[in-house]
Amino acid sequence: MQNVITKEMIAAAYDRANAAYVARKGASANVNKSGVNPDIAKGLKVWSGMSDATFSAVIALCDGIALCDAIAGTTNTKKAMRLPMFLSFIVSGDVRDLKGSARTAFLELCALVNGATNRDSLMFAATGTAKEGENVNLRDTSLARKLRMLAGSVKPSTEQTQNSVTFSAGGIAQTLGIASKDSRKSHPVVNSDSPILRAMLDRINRTAESTLFELTKSEEGATVESTATDAPAPVEGESKSEKKNRKGRK
């Protein structure tokens, strides 16, 4: 796994993604005064605002060269924006990182680990609106509710689009090697060997120990069992730019 990656290399990947976007969209491209797509600019801002400790912990989970290539080659600007938010949460545990499809990715990937084998189960985990019953086959619906209370619910009107950002070809799950699909219409399957998946499960367990069960005291607690052995430890503190960056995210 290649991890000799710097913030400058990440920035160069975002520059390439923006250049490709502008070339592809031409006169219809949505860009700011600097000629950069707003989603791409926000994604780069997340990376730039990470403390050195957070950045190093994130990169330690990834194949850095493959990550840069995936960012540069993405045709989905939302993925470029939400990918670093998802990764930052896995390391920091700060739910303020989970915005938009980063939140959906977290909740629906947790649902896969929690036994989801159909679309209704993923939707229930993210939105809470799918009818709970024979079509929702999560092993532990109580855990799904707690995670949704922790991260925040996804609006049903946006879930389908955000699900696509997560699970489509070249989406967050495939880019990070967490899950994949055999075809466009098939159900995603998790990669149990993924270090990011193991870190995500470790994050759930650490969160559960401190705050998760307090959200619904009337329910009996449950955790997803983790096999993590090399997941990063929580990053203590953050840089001033990281704090400012989080407050400005939309």
* Bridge partners, residue 180, by sequence: 189
Rounded distance, CA 10 to CA 59, Å? 10
Alpha-carbon span 65 to 2, nearest angstrom: 6
Domain ranges within the chain, ordered by starting residue = 7-98, 101-216
Adjacent-strand bridge partners of 179: 190
Residue 130 clears pLDDT 60, i.e. is over it: yes
In this predicted structure, the answer to whether residue 82 has a pLDDT above a threshold of 90 is: yes
pTM for the complete prediction? 0.80
Tell me which of 231 and 65 has the higher pLDDT: 65
Find the range with the poorest average confidence among 29-38, 183-192, 205-214.
205-214
Give the C-alpha separation, 185 to 55, whole Å: 34
Q: How buried is 247 (Cβ within 10 angstroms: 0-12 exposed, 13-18 middle, 19+ buried)?
A: exposed
Percent of the chain's residues with pLDDT above 90: 58
* pLDDT at residue 127 is higher than 60: yes
The pLDDT score that the predictor gives to residue 209 is: 56
Distance CA(231)–CA(121), nearest Å, equals 27
Pick from 19-33, 121-135, 203-217 the range whose average pLDDT is largest. 19-33
Residue 247 has pLDDT above 60, yes or no: no
CA–CA separation, 111 vs 116, rounded Å?
Answer: 5
Whether pLDDT at 234 is above 80: no
Question: What's the pLDDT score for residue 134?
Answer: 60
Checking if the pLDDT of 238 tops 60, the result is: no
For the four alpha carbons of 56, 59, 64 and 69, in that order, the dihedral sign comes to negative
Amino acid at 249: R
Band the pLDDT of 109: cuts 50, 70, 90.
Answer: very high
